[in-house]
Each structure stands twice: as C-alpha cells, then as structure tokens.
Amino acid sequence: MLTAPLILVAEDDAHTRDYLVTLLESEGYRVASVTNGPAALTRGQAGDVALVLLDRGLPGLDGLAVCQQLQAQPGRRPPVIMLTAFSRPDQRLQGFAAGADDYVTKPFSPGELVARIQSVLRRTAPVGADDEAFRYVDERLQIDFAEQQVIVAGQPIALKRTEAELLRVLVERAGEVVPFETILTEVWGPAYTDAPQYVHLYVSYLRRKIEPAPRAPRYILTRRGVGYQFACPAPPQQ
C-alpha cells in the first residue's frame, strides 16, 4: 500500500493553519504543522516531507530565509509552495528567487491550492531509473537532471529545482523556439501564462551558471517577443 505524501504546513495563524490541515487531510495527504521559521526549517530538513506549504511572514525566521536554506541543503530538497498575503509582482519574484516552486496569495481558493500542490508534486517527482537523466551537450557542458546539476568545464554546479525544470523544458526541445506560454505552463503552471518575467529571471540565473559569456549566450538564445531556444549541440566526437 502506498503511503500518502506528507505535507508540512508552516503557518503561524492558528485559524489558517487549522483550515489547511483539515483541507489537506480531507484530500488524503498526511500533514505536519509548525508555527515558526526555525521549526519549519528543522522539520523540512527531516527527509520525509514531500512538500512544504510555507507562510512568508513566519516569526523567528521568515519564509524567504527558510526557503533559501532548504534549497541550500545537500541531497533531496522538498518542493516549496509559498502561501502568503504578499502579492505584489516584485514580492512574487522574491519568492521564486528564494527557490519557491510556486507562489499562492491569500485569500486563496481551496480547489486551486490543491491543484497547485498536485502539479508541484508531479513535476518534482524523483527521476525514474528509465528516464534519460543525463544529457551530453558539448565538451564544455553536460547536464545531469537526476542530480539537478550541470557540469561546466569539468566542475559540477548545483541547480535549483525550478532552474533544472526550465533547463529540461528547453533541452528537450533543443533547436526549437519554445514560446513563453509553453515554458510557463510546464515549469510554473497554467496560472502563470501571462507572467513572462519569471522566465526572463530564471533564464538569467541559468545563463550565469552555464554560459561562458552570459551577455552573449551560446546555449540559451533569446527569440525576442516569442520565447527561448536551446541551441542544438554538435554531436560528440567519436
């Protein structure tokens, strides 16, 4: 019998916390809850958490800091959905920059929240043994999606989960121009199809990590007003 995923609810407001626990348990999830940032970080690092539902305004250590520290830990990192009243576009970008996999503002629709949880769990599931996790690009760049890292000039460089997912979407369509709407739907979900600024932000992160000259990219090319294209690599020399 499969064990239901464990979701960690990190929320200091008692009413909201109790509501979320009841909602998630009614959907068949196991739920743990904490009320402050340090407890969220400790519990999120335990290794059995499938997803963290994280309030940004936690006492002791705010949600951005918790998210950043969870992202920095070695090994498997639980995906994070930031659930917060901070709704300005720049605040959303701060959440994604901290490593959040999704960002939901209060007040929220319970149906939408559950759908977003399901979406994040699907796209952050571990790579299966039969999946093509390693991609050779050229002598300088190799990509290991299973480990969420790239190897640049022989040196491993860690990717955040969203960076890895964005890179996968582009690499799987190497040589094609991938429209902003497609990228947003596959990486962030259909609710973000009118927010290309997220794509631009994460492309800039990836370019800093993999490009020899980020302002004159070799791999991730801009197709202005349309989307991005991962340049087709030459086949490896035999």
Range of lowest pLDDT (39-48, 65-74, 184-193)? 184-193
If asked whether residues 175 and 214 sit together in one domain, one would say yes
Last residue in a domain, options 57, 89, 123: 123
Pairing of strands 6-10, 30-34: parallel
* pLDDT confidence band for 133 (50 / 70 / 90): low
Does the pLDDT of residue 38 top 90, yes or no? yes
For residue 77, being part of any structural domain is answered with yes
If asked whether residues 39 and 100 sit together in one domain, one would say yes
pLDDT digits over 17-37, tens only?
999 999 999 999 999 999 999
For residue 95, being part of any structural domain is answered with yes
CATH code of the domain containing 160? 1.10.10.10
Per-residue pLDDT averaged across 58-80, rounded? 88
For residue 27, being part of any structural domain is answered with yes
User: Who has greater pLDDT, 1 or 195?
Assistant: 195
* pLDDT confidence band for 44 (50 / 70 / 90): very high
Q: How far is CA 82 from the centre of its chain?
A: 11
* pLDDT confidence band for 234 (50 / 70 / 90): very low
If asked whether residues 51 and 75 sit together in one domain, one would say yes
CATH code of the domain containing 112? 3.40.50.2300
If asked whether residues 97 and 167 sit together in one domain, one would say no
- Collect all residues with Cβ–Cβ distance below 8 Å to 172 and sequence separation of at least 6: none
Please tell me the distance from the alpha carbon of residue 22 to that of residue 48, in angstroms, as a whole number: 20
pLDDT value at position 144? 83
> What is the residue range of 112's domain?
6-123
pTM of the model: 0.66
Cα–Cα nearest to 89, from 99, 103, 107, 72? 103
Measure the N-to-C terminal CA separation of the chain; round to a whole number of Å: 47
If asked whether residues 101 and 138 sit together in one domain, one would say no
Cα–Cα nearest to 222, from 193, 200, 192, 201? 200
Largest CA distance in the chain: 63
If asked whether residues 110 and 165 sit together in one domain, one would say no
Please tell me the distance from the alpha carbon of residue 72 to that of residue 66, in angstroms, as a whole number: 10
Range of lowest pLDDT (98-107, 130-139, 160-169, 223-232)? 130-139
If asked whether residues 101 and 139 sit together in one domain, one would say no
* 3-class state of residue 62 by DSSP: coil
If asked whether residues 11 and 48 sit together in one domain, one would say yes
Per-residue pLDDT averaged across 149-161, rounded? 87
